[in-house]
Structure 1
Amino acid sequence: MHAQIVLFDGFDPLDAVAPYEVLQAGGVASGGAVTVELATAEGPREVPSGVEGLALRATAVLDPDRADLVVVPGAAGDLTDSDSEQSVLVRLGRTLHTGLPALLKAVMDRPGRTVATVCGGSLLLAMAGLIEGRRATTHHLGMEALDATGAIAVRARVVDDGDLVTGAGVTSGLDLGLYLLERELGPRIAHAVEELFAHERRGVVWREEGHAPVGLEVTGGRA
């Protein structure tokens, strides 16, 4: 499985680095069954994050033909003033004027590919019109915004909607990465990486299967 972690100007570094390290460690533990790299819509370049003074270098272009798994982080920035040039929503919105949405659509249109998101990454997909009617999660402060895009917001740490797997707040990138390892390579590899990182996954992964709860389920802005 080849994974590409997407970077864009203003991305949240922990959203990207947490799943990167988990997947990279899974590749080591599996003898090379997973490879991972940082990519942008434009190709190799230095990418400024939304955290002042911190940048990462992408080494590849996002390639729908090469990537089996694409992980989309959210943005870092102001959470209180949505009109600020440094706000999370503004930074996510800027990606809509790049080649990223078209490339992500191409990935999602290819059978057998999986797109995963951390925190506001699901909002990026939603703002691009790519997950209408799909079940997803995001940071708790963005649940109503996600719901308003036509996606079905689910309050869970990780939501598995088939070829779309989404994580909630920023630290859920660890849980998301471990779940993807378990889903693709099995629990022994995921457990080995979990032990290596001294991190126990939190919460039940939400999937639309089994008995539906009666009077208990809370989804997004609709209780």
Structure 2
Amino acid sequence: MHVQIVLFDGFDPLDAIAPFEVLHAGGTASGGAVSVELVSAEGPRDVVSGTGGLSLRTTGTLDPSCPGVVLVPGASGRVGDPADSADREDDDTQEDTIPVLLGRALETELPGLLKTAMEDTGITVATVCGGSLVLAMAGLLHRRHATTHHLGLDLLDATGVHAVRARVVDDGDLVTAAGVTSGLDLGLYLLEREAGPQIAHAVEELFAHERRGTTWRPRGLQPAAF
């Protein structure tokens, strides 16, 4: 399994680094069955995050035809009102809000590349936190089941997505995770799903992190009202 973690200007570092470390450790534990790299729509470059000017260097260009996983992090910045994001584009004091940062990502080649990836049956698209909002705002998640940070669930629902309040949501070739620290749980779940539970357990022990919550899937009995 090869995983491409896609960075864009204003990304949240923990959304990217948490799954990167988990998956990299999974590659070591599996003897190379898992590999991971940082990529961008533009190719190798220094990408500035939305947290204190911290930057990470991507080593490749997002390849939407490469089998495996494409993982999209969210943005890091001040919380703003998504409904007002268009108006705030012209307001310098609002340039670091999450809606504006996500909106700028939509103005790059990233949405087109993600659309191509989602149309490929050999690729699973995964997201952490606001990464699902990037897909949803690009019109790529209509009627799909997904989650995001709890503050963004209403926006996710407004785009025609079946928003689920869960730590990790597995909708087949779309796997989404909630708030920023859920990137650890997403990485471990992907390891379990693709490389097996023994690999995932070994990394879980190494990281001294026990996964939280049940991974939600659109199957099984429907729960009755409590």
Do they superpose with TM above 0.5?
Answer: yes
Q: Deviations over 1:193-220 (max 9, x none)?
A: 000000000000000111110115xxxx
Query: Aligned partners of 2:220 and 2:178: how far apart in 1?
Result: 22
Q: Is residue 4–residue 67 contact of structure 1 (8 Å, CA) maintained in 2?
A: no
Q: The residue matched to 2:216 in structure 1 has which SS?
A: strand
**Counterpart amino acid of residue 24 in structure 1:** H
Give identity over the alignment, percent: 69
The residue identity in structure 1 corresponding to 2:43 is: G
> Could you tell me which residue of structure 2 aligns to residue 145 of structure 1?
155
Q: Is the 8 A contact 2:44 2:57 kept in 1?
A: yes
Q: Are the structure 2 counterparts of residues 67 and 45 from structure 1 closer, same or farther at C-alpha, using a change threshold of 3 Å? A: farther
1:27 maps to 27
Flag structure 1 segments of 5+ consecutive residues without an equivalent: 217-223
Residue identity matched to 1:152: H
1:81 deviates by 5.5
Following superposition, the deviation at residue 63 of structure 1 comes to 0.2
Which stretch of structure 1 is more off in the superposition, 158-167 or 63-72? Answer: 63-72
TM-score when scaled to structure 2? 0.94
Matches within 5 A, 1:5-16: 5-16=5-16
Which runs of 5 or more structure 2 residues have no equivalent in the other structure?
Answer: 83-87, 89-93
CA RMSD in angstroms, aligned pairs only:
0.9
Compute the displacement of 1:80 (Å): 4.1
Secondary structure of the residue aligned to 1:132 is: coil
Matches within 5 A, 1:209-220: 209-216=219-226
TM-score of the superposed pair, with normalisation by structure 1 = 0.95
Give the AA of the match of 2:172: G
Q: Which segment is superposed worse, 60-69 or 94-103?
A: 60-69
Q: 1: distance between equivalents of 2:176 and 2:139?
A: 16
Aligned mates of 1:210, 1:182 — CA distance in 2:
20
- Deviations, residues 7-57 of structure 1 (Å, cap 9, x unaligned): 000000000000001111000000000111000000000000001220000
Query: Per-residue CA shift, 1:125-170, capped at 9, x if unaligned?
Result: 0000001100000000000011001111000000000000000000
SS in 2 for 1:11: coil
Q: Which runs of at least 4 in structure 1 moved beyond 3 Å after TM superposition?
A: 80-83
Partner of 1:56: 56
Task: Number of aligned residue pairs: give it.
Answer: 216
